[in-house]
Structure 1
Amino acid sequence: MRLQDQLFLQRESVLLDAARLLFRQQPWDRVTIAEVATQAGIGKGTVYKHFPSKEALYARLALDMSRANLADLRALHATQPPHLAMRQVIRRAFEQMLADPILAQLCQHCDRPAFQERLDAPCREQFLLLERDYIDFFGQLLHATFDDRVLCPADCQYLLWGVEACVNGVMARIASGGFEHWAEPIALGDYFDRVTDFIIAGLRGQAASLCALPANHE
């Protein structure tokens, strides 16, 4: 790699680190490109050579986090027995969100169609490819967990919708600060365990129902 290219990547990394730091210090949607440039010690005009808009910066951070999380989940799945894989992966996903709730909120924001419509075509394609990677991983996880079921890709997508709804609910609960203000509070760790049990029970029941449908075997 040319020295010029190395310097470009290094500068980009500094900008991303600066944005992550600022997002933890103040509302992320109010941070400006000028503030990111100042934090990174880089001229504002130079920032636009890497990220043409604040949306492009958001997208890059969301893509980086989602790819890193997917890599962690794949590694976890590879080291777990099939009967434990689903539970460990779901639980780990919740822990990842809790560890970095600000970036988790940013990822949720970047998943909105209205947001992605403002991105250029190559960036939108990266989100589509990442979504396919997650769907493929979820399908592998389902087949490993329910190896007595024959699930087609459409079945896996159907089941993923339910899991996504639960995950979004957990993300919203983390963003709200947990349950300390409730009359009968529950620790987030215990909450994660109960939601995980709920998801697995739902997946098991729905997978059995789908496999019982004649159309599934045509």
Structure 2
Amino acid sequence: MRYQDQLFQQRQAAILAAARQLFREQPWDRVTIAEVAIQAGIGKGTVYKHFPSKEALYAQLVLDCSHEQLAELRALHAALPAEQAMRQVIRRAFEQMLADPVQAQLCQHCDRPAFQERLEAPYREQFQALEGEYRRFFGELLEGTLGQHGLTAADSQYLLWGVEASVNGVMARIASGGFVHWAEPIALSDYLDRVTDFIIAGLRGQADSLRTSE
């Protein structure tokens, strides 16, 4: 790799690290590009050479983190017996969200259609590719857990809708701060266990329904 390319990558990594640090210290949607530049020790114009907008910066943070999390989930899946993989992967995905609520907020923000429409084309394409990777991974999990049901591609799509709705609900709960404002706060660990049970039961029940309706 050329020195110029190495330098470019190093600067971009410094910008992203600076943004992550600032987002942990103050509301992420109020952090300015100028503040990110100061935190990274570079000029504001240099930040714009890497990210044409604040939306692009948000997008790159979410893309990078999502790829890292997916790689971890794939490794977990590969290390587990097929009958255990779905439950453990779902539970670990929730733990990833819980470990970084700010990231959960950013993921929700970047998933909005209006946000996606404002993004530059290369970022939109990366999000589409990432969605495809998650869909393929979900298909692999389904095959290991419910392969005996003979599910079609359309069946897998229907099941994914339900899982996506549940996962988005958990993400919203974590992003909003959990249950601390409730009169009788609920332990998030118990909540995540029950939601995981709900998803697994729903997948099995719907798979049985799809099979009997044929």
Common fold: TM-score over 0.5: yes
Summarize the alignment of residues 16-35 of structure 1 with structure 2, pairs less than 5 Å apart.
16-35=16-35
Structure 1: give runs of 5+ residues left out of the alignment: none
Summarize the alignment of residues 1-218 of structure 1 with structure 2, pairs less than 5 Å apart.
1-214=1-214
Gap change, CA 1:199 and 1:51, over 3 Å in 2? same
Q: What amino acid sits opposite 1:176 in the alignment? A: S
> Per-residue displacement from partner, 1:28-71 (whole Å, max 9, x unpaired)?
11111101001000000011110000011011001001111111
Query: Over aligned residues, Cα RMSD in angstroms?
Result: 1.1
d(CA) in 2 for partners of 1:123 and 1:180?
35
Q: What amino acid sits opposite 2:92 in the alignment? A: R
TM-score by length of 1: 0.95
TM-score by length of 2: 0.97
Q: What amino acid sits opposite 1:23 in the alignment? A: F
d(CA) in 2 for partners of 1:107 and 1:212?
37
Give runs of ≥4 in structure 1 deviating > 6 Å: none
> Per-residue displacement from partner, 1:150-194 (whole Å, max 9, x unpaired)?
111221111111111111111122123222333333211111111
d(CA) in 1 for partners of 2:14 and 2:173?
31
Percent identity reads 76
d(CA) in 1 for partners of 2:157 and 2:68?
22
Structure 2: give runs of 5+ residues left out of the alignment: none
Is the partner of 2:149 in helix, strand or coil? Answer: coil
Shift of 1:213: 2.8
